[in-house]
Structure 1
């Protein structure tokens, strides 16, 4: 973007939304399962390597492990086993160029926590607290609705003392077409009574928090802390109804939250990413994320990123990988993002629409600067520790 002369160093990345990694070595089937949002095996005779994400892994990751790009999946997985999980994780994380990780710790399984992730990457990490997971842990130890609600209130306020922010997966549990205002106390207590009674029956489905009244209460509990609140929008695994995950369904909630000033970050978005960009453009406390969509669109990532940047203010777009399980997803998410951003901005500079200095400034904002500002990271992280200013 800067024309002839020595290459400028690339800005470091702040991954504002990601997850833990497997500690062990997955077999071939388990590895492939992380290349899709489906909960089913690939169609008979096919492979999830034959996807945009699968091709992106084969393009970017083999050279980081000493293999040629686009090598066959079998050779790549064999090389992974030769090196071992710890070395593969170290190489791929460090190649990603991510210096700070904000880690959603609400997923199940034997996953690396924020501190382990930071040590493997040679960076720093903070926790993003998943609201539904927090509420389910509180419910496990609660006998009555009153004790549940009181303990939950304390748990949210306590988490806010150290967390970088909160996240909700209400899109998965119910949908984004929730009533926008906090529930009335009587409705809230009745919903808590119903949920605790259903959990007592031992049904694992009933144990998941999916009641719309309780989900609204969680959202507003997080809003009252004033920490950034991440909201899943757009595509994901078959547990959601995509038509109920359009971020535009949040419009009334966004309006209701505005007087509080609480930042709302619309994650992922695809295929509704243009709507997320619009909401970021017209509401001062709303931000749009470009994670996950770029990873899964692979060779088309540049087109998706350009669509996000059509209307969203450049100070309102944040980078993330949404990586989970495999370190390859960190490497691919970061490298695809850099390639898509570089190519998109270089084209606009070449066409005369932008100047090179503006392109470099915007690249630095999206890569890290916006996340540092929104989450208050500037001058707060040293090594793997953090303190609130």
Structure 2
């Protein structure tokens, strides 16, 4: 039983080798000559977990896998991948509608193919980008738009790390600052640090859990400014409100995320994306998260996006990594079998159900 507390929709159309490979890397650039995204830890994970879902042996070559995928057909392959992940609930970030220029399935169709319940996560910057109010009324217009967009949502998400970095002042900006920044906007994309802080504090007012991208991502990111430890002033400022802050991904700063989850009662750590991309090393990385993070503060997700295969890969990587860690602890006498069952249930679904009220 797994609750995927942070994920995206997928491309359900036929994919040639180049298009498929482009969706198993966070880079939006073509690979270097003579290389392939398949030749990576996540490439190995895709070849380890997905071929058996198409009737092939694990770890067959990429060419054989893609040939079998084409023979099955994109629709059937997508359905098999999503169903195989064994997810009961999907918390879908609805702020993205395409991947590498290809349309994503509507979230309801995604959930239906996965056999899971759908819950919406609203991306703050996507909502704000559509607000065209004059600068003097922009703060109120954004608050109104967010309240409307979040009427049925279970959480919101910020990509502050991409747009301005996580090294922000703790408190909210003055209204006059927000109005000035709104007046200086030249397009729909929200990149001004003042406006991004205003969005975060508007979200605090909603009371929903706030998911924050941290750690690695695509080349639009400045990685050193995505260290979650930089959020500590904001974390402290939000603490009196009690609004949960969920630090997504984290790698290679997953230990910093674990420290924040240990130190502050309203902070949670996610292991999605990280466990998929670290492939055979996933158990070591998960073990590092669990060095400090309380077991009731760590959540599973796939962060699957674009490629349907990333759903079963994310689920399998998590389950194997967690099983390896807990088996080692039990063998060393560091936890009981009952402890292991309770930890597994908490990380796999219990923490997410409690946090998001689902």
TM-score range, shorter chain: over 0.9
RMSD (Å), alpha carbons: 0.9
In the alignment, the residues of structure 1 paired with residue 87 and residue 136 of structure 2 have an alpha-carbon distance, to the nearest angstrom, of: 43
Partner in structure 2 of residue 162 of structure 1 = 152
Scaled by the length of structure 2, the TM-score of the pair is 0.97
Q: What SS is found at the alignment partner of 2:179? A: helix
Q: What SS is found at the alignment partner of 2:291? A: coil
Partner in structure 1 of residue 54 of structure 2 = 65
Q: What SS is found at the alignment partner of 2:191? A: coil
Picking from 68, 81, 84, the partner of 1:92 is 81
Q: What SS is found at the alignment partner of 2:239? A: helix
Picking from 21, 30, 34, the partner of 2:10 is 21
1:190 aligns with 2:180: yes
- The answer to whether the 8 Å contact 1:230/1:265 transfers is yes
In the alignment, the residues of structure 2 paired with residue 46 and residue 309 of structure 1 have an alpha-carbon distance, to the nearest angstrom, of: 34
- The answer to whether the 8 Å contact 1:64/1:92 transfers is yes
Deviation string, structure 1 residues 103-145 (Cα, Å, up to 9, x no partner) = 0011242111221111101111111000001111123xx3x11
TM-superposed deviation, 1:279: 0.3
In the alignment, the residues of structure 2 paired with residue 138 and residue 329 of structure 1 have an alpha-carbon distance, to the nearest angstrom, of: 33
TM-superposed deviation, 1:299: 0.2
Q: What SS is found at the alignment partner of 1:26? A: coil
Q: What SS is found at the alignment partner of 1:69? A: coil
Partner in structure 1 of residue 162 of structure 2 = 172
- The answer to whether the 8 Å contact 2:138/2:179 transfers is no
Matches within 5 A, 1:1-389: 12-109=1-98, 110-139=103-132, 142=133, 144-195=134-185, 198-199=186-187, 207-377=188-358
TM-superposed deviation, 1:151: 2.0
The farther-off stretch of 150-159 and 45-54 is: 150-159
Q: Which 5+ residue runs of structure 1 have no aligned equivalent?
A: 1-11, 200-206, 378-389
Q: Stretches of 4+ moved more than 6 A in 1?
A: none
Scaled by the length of structure 1, the TM-score of the pair is 0.90
